[in-house]
Structure 1
Amino acid sequence: IVRLGEGVAENGRLSDAAMTRTLAALEVCAAKLRKRGVTRFRGVATEACRLADNCDDFLARAAEQAGLQLEIISGGEEARLALDSCTPLLEATASHALLFDIGGCSTELIWVRLTDGAPPEVADWTSPACGVVSLAERHGGDQVTADTYDTMVAEAGALVSPFVTALDIGDLLAGGNVQMLGTSGTITTIAGLHLGLPRYDRAQVDGFRLTSAEIRHQVARLLAMNFEQRAAEPCIGVGRGDVVIAGCAILDAILNACPVNSVDVADRGLREGMLLGMMRADDLAL
């Protein structure tokens, strides 16, 4: 976990330390690409680079040091890629879905229209600048008190709720016609904790359904832990022990704004969306 967006929300710039960590990881990736003879590659940057004044410097260093050409994609494309990857998990019985992707510096919310016989359609989307790294930087991530957690939920809710309110989906929710689908480390982590996995296993998590009560039970467990206890959880680890609470706060805010009985978990996202797009561009069978 490189945390490229560390400090961006406060300073508007990528820090030297964050760039150094990320470039080191990109060099490892580049070596693996060369070893496997990869001839087609696409690498993208998201909210941290959209926000940072010095992102062009970072992209230039990535090209020079790792030999990788990265592109900054818009929030709209990020939303479309996430939906593309998650399409197989959408339910035919629902008329709409709310897909969320909780990232490091932003959270994507995608309102999806589902029509029989037609591909899912992005009806609306938003990308508020509220992610696990930026929220944890503002409020801390070691021993988070109940009051601090409530403040984090309220801050995230102030950015999430207006979008959901504007959708005017009360009748759809009452009729059970909205599927909620989450992708990102927060919801996959909670699924892993709920399942009691001794080691994270994508095969058990991807497509799993959590009730809202089960989610909030795991959030309460995490809030009762300190950093060391959270880091010791096999589905969290040291690299995410301080940001997982911020992710829970954003998820709580989403559930408050859009109260559903369950959330479907997707261990898939931008990477899979990009792969599907590249396969289509090459006329490969999906």
Structure 2
Amino acid sequence: MTRVAAIDCGTNTIRLLIADARYDDGRLGLEPVARRNEIVRLGQGVDRTGRLDPAALERTLAVVEDYAADCRAHGAQQRRFVATSATRDADNREEFIAGVRAALGVDPEVITGQEEARLSFAGSLLGVGGNAERLVVDLGGGSTELVLGTGEPRAAISLDVGSVRITERHLAGGVTPDAEAAARAEVRALLDEAADAVDLSAPERIVGLAGTVTTVTAHALGLEAFEPEAIDGAELSAEQVAASCRAILHSTPAQRESWGYLAPGRRDVIAAGALVWQEVVERVAAETSAAGRPLRGVITSLHDILDGIALSLIEDAPAIEGAPARP
């Protein structure tokens, strides 16, 4: 049995999945052994300075040390560490790479936005399979990937927009009318660029990944805490998503603190994340409606780039193509 360890280090969070390969009817899947998720805000200030902040580096490398201990304790035979938007943008990323190498014993990979999109799509198939055309949207802290396809990607783009980046650029001083308008204008301009690479009128459904999406879904479902069983695979209308995004965008600090599904480290950036998610969903809904193929729904998946990284460590990972649809 192959036991692998996947680490996804993004702009806001760093996550670990240790899993065994599993085969169902000849199709490859994953049997999780351990999962961890820590908000470290590695991308703190990177958009402004172009460098990783020393305190953010220290926080992140301390978690990497913990994850390395978990890998040893669980006997993970293969390990892959993937770093995404914040590390791509940082002039001093070599310092981070050296620290990860020393702790984990493997070189971290600073992947391109296209590779990030491919891995996100592969991971999402473990949760939402089937033959319907879907737009997979991985909304992170520093970047957002849009990937169109069925069993495999046929078009993809990575946009420099995310919850941390939009917060630092526009909403750090609060959600004022002018700040909101500027943030929306930037997101809409990037979606115009995305439409040149990805046909936003084509998907039957949107599949949303990552923390902002799960938070919006929990809000729309009226949950009191983070409930994976309720969130994973939940299907909402575009109108439901937009309504929760607007409510979150204009929520008070007290409201955000009361939401048991919203991690403390995400409270200051969730407004920006909700704004981005609303813009994406409403744009796709408008494009599909105009094409005479109204969007059928927005699905949330807890299977994402982390699962894709783990699958990439298993020799026959392409066998996930055509994975069975969720009942």
Matches within 5 A, 1:47-196: 47-65=85-103, 67-88=105-126, 89-92=128-131, 94=132, 96-112=133-149, 114=150, 120-141=151-172, 143-164=174-195, 167=198, 170=201, 172=202, 178-196=204-222
CA contact (8 A) 2:242 2:282 kept: no
Alpha-carbon distance between aligned partners in 2 of 1:131 and 1:194, rounded to the nearest angstrom: 21
Question: Whole-Å Cα distance in 2 between the matches of residues 77 and 167 of structure 1?
Answer: 16
Is the CA contact (8 Å cut-off) linking 1:101 and 1:184 kept in structure 2? Answer: yes
Q: C-alpha distance in 2, partners of 1:130/1:196?
A: 27
Aligned residue for 1:235?
A: 261
Partner secondary structure for residue 162 of structure 1: helix
Kindly report structure 1 stretches of 4+ aligned residues shifted beyond 6 Å.
282-286
| Counterpart residue number, 1:268 | 303
Q: Distance in 1 between matches of 2:104 and 2:240?
A: 43
Shift of 1:27: 1.1
Matches of 2:157 and 2:229 in 1, distance apart?
Answer: 29
Q: Deviations over 1:56-114 (max 9, x none)?
A: 1111022224545311122121111111111241443x3x32111111111101121x3
Match of 1:25 in 2: 63
- Paired residue secondary structure (1:98): strand
Of residues 230, 249, 252, the one that matches 1:226 is 252
CA-atom RMSD in angstroms: 2.4
Give the drift of 1:48. 1.1
8 Å Cα contact 1:7/1:137 also seen in 2: yes
Tell me the SS of whatever aligns to 2:159.
coil
SS in 2 for 1:242: coil
**Counterparts of 1:12 and 1:244, CA distance in 2:** 23
> CA separation in 2, counterparts of 1:105 and 1:122?
22
Q: Which amino acid aligns with 1:83?
A: F
Report the TM-score when normalising by structure 1: 0.87
Paired residue type of 1:103 = G
Instruction: Answer with 203-212 or 145-154: which moved more.
Output: 145-154
Q: Which amino acid is 2:301 matched to?
A: A
Q: 1:161 touches 1:257 (CA, 8 Å); kept in 2?
A: no
Taking structure 2 as the reference length, what is the TM-score of the superposition?
0.76
In 1, the alpha carbon distance for the partners of 2:304 and 2:277 equals 17
The one of 38, 42, 45 equivalent to 2:76 is 38
Stretch deviating more after TM superposition (222-231 or 185-194): 222-231
**Is the CA contact (8 Å cut-off) linking 1:91 and 1:179 kept in structure 2?**
no
Amino acid at match of 1:206: D
Distance 1:141 1:207, change over 3 A: farther
Q: Separation in 2 of the partners of 1:283 and 1:178? A: 23
State whether structure 2 residue 246 is matched by structure 1 residue 209. no
Distance 1:71 1:256 in 2: 34
Give the share of equivalent positions with the same residue, in percent: 33
CA distance in 2, matches of 1:145, 1:169: 30
Mean Cα displacement is larger for which, 29-38 or 254-263? Answer: 254-263
Q: CA deviation at 1:168?
A: 5.1
- Normalized per residue, the structure richer in helix is 1
In the other structure, the counterpart of 1:253 is: 279
Does structure 1 retain, via aligned residues, the 8 Å contact 2:50–2:90? yes
Aligned length: 273
Q: Which runs of 5+ in 1 are unaligned?
A: 115-119
Shifted more, 216-225 versus 206-215: the winner is 216-225
Deviation track 1:187-221 (CA, whole Å, cap 9, x = no partner) reads 11111122222321222111110111111221232
* Whole-Å separation in 1 of the counterparts to 2:137 and 2:210: 8
Secondary structure of residue in 2 paired with 1:127: strand
Whole-Å Cα distance in 2 between the matches of residues 224 and 282 of structure 1? 42
Higher strand fraction (1 or 2): 2
- SS of the residue corresponding to residue 262 of structure 2 reads coil
SS at match of 1:280: coil
